[in-house]
């Protein structure tokens, strides 16, 4: 009997090693890895540059603390901002943590404007994570049931419906932003034409709201550009990353620009392991250039 908590409907297979796009199980059977760790292993398995970079960093320094400077964070943040058009980055460990940071940033923005109960517009069939706030922002009752009461501060609208957003704006004075995925993944592969996302941007600008793009699944080159929002011609105020950012090394990022830049100060948010030297090396260490970009993923930064 396993003492691991039974939270996954696991298939009866375990893997021992991998190389490139193939993995081998403990019985010696080889598989083509079409799942990639659920959009994580963007450089495949055992990529030589990534392995060498992680091993070298582990031999120097795995973890210090965010009470001190972390050189790798500065380098990675510079590259992410250059690619994304953002101005600053908060590093964490996962997608839900990145989205938690985005939600906190939006609430902080609202309180700065004198809004007592800051509220985000979120989408039906969305998925933003399994922590209490990100679960509450998620538009899927199946993953929410059994965990009520959910966190307040979210108004849900149909994905792709600009008029629904306008109607909320007309009747709800506590709105501080719109949070969406450019491509919805968990609820089915849902996307809209570029006019929809540009319309969301225009509504946010008209009301001085934040536009938050969850790029955890569709970011890091998975759409052919570094970020999904670049495919539809908008620039959000906040964008969140994880999954492919570390190509298997746990790291998340909440990027801020526009109205969201410069909001957080010391003590407003933090993370023990976020952006540690090993994680930042894993995100930067696989090489760069156009060849890397074509493959997507963190090691390509």
Residues noted as catalytic? 127, 214, 243
Residues 6+ apart with CB under 8 A from 212: 102, 106, 120, 177, 178, 179, 180, 236, 237, 238, 239, 240
Residue 45: name the closest of 59, 26, 57, 31 by CA.
Answer: 31
| Alpha-carbon torsion (97, 103, 109, 114), positive or negative | negative
Q: In whole angstroms, give the CA distance from residue 106 to residue 49.
A: 38
Residues 6+ apart with CB under 8 A from 213: 180, 181, 182, 227, 228, 229, 234, 236, 238, 239, 240
DSSP result, 204-270: HHHHTPEEEEE-TTT-TTTTSSSSHHHHTT---SEEEE-GGGTTTS--EEEEE-GGGTT---TTS--
Residue 136: name the closest of 120, 125, 124, 152 by CA.
Answer: 152
Q: In whole angstroms, give the CA distance from residue 184 to residue 161.
A: 14
């Amino acid at each position: 009997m396993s003492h691991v908590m039974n939270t996954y409907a696991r298939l009866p297979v375990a893997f021992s090693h991998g190389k490139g796009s193939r993995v081998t199980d403990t019985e010696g059977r080889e598989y083509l890895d079409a799942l990639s760790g659920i959009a994580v292993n963007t450089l495949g398995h055992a990529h030589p540059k990534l392995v060498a970079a992680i091993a070298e960093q582990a031999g120097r320094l795995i973890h210090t603390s965010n009470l001190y400077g972390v050189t790798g964070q500065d380098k990675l943040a510079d590259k992410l901002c250059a690619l994304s058009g953002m101005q600053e980055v908060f590093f964490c460990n996962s997608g839900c943590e990145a989205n938690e940071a985005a939600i906190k940033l939006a609430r902080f923005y609202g309180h700065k404007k004198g809004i007592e109960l800051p509220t985000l517009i979120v989408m039906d069939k969305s998925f933003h994570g399994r922590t209490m706030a990100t679960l509450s922002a998620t538009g899927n009752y199946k993953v929410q049931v059994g965990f009520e009461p959910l966190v307040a501060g979210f108004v849900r609208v149909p994905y792709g419906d600009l008029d629904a957003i306008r109607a909320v704006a007309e009747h709800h004075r506590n709105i501080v932003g719109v949070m969406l995925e450019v491509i919805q993944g968990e609820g089915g592969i849902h996307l809209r034409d570029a006019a929809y996302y540009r319309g969301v941007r225009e509504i946010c600008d008209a009301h001085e709201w934040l536009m938050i793009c969850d790029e955890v699944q569709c970011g890091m080159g998975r759409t052919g550009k570094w970020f999904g929002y670049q495919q539809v011609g908008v620039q959000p105020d906040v964008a969140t990353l994880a999954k492919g950012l570390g190509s298997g090394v746990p790291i998340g990022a909440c990027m801020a620009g526009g109205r969201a830049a410069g909001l957080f100060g010391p003590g407003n948010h933090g993370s023990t392991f976020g952006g540690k030297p090993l994680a930042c090396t894993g995100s930067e260490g696989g090489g760069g250039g156009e060849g890397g970009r074509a493959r997507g993923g963190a090691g390509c930064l």
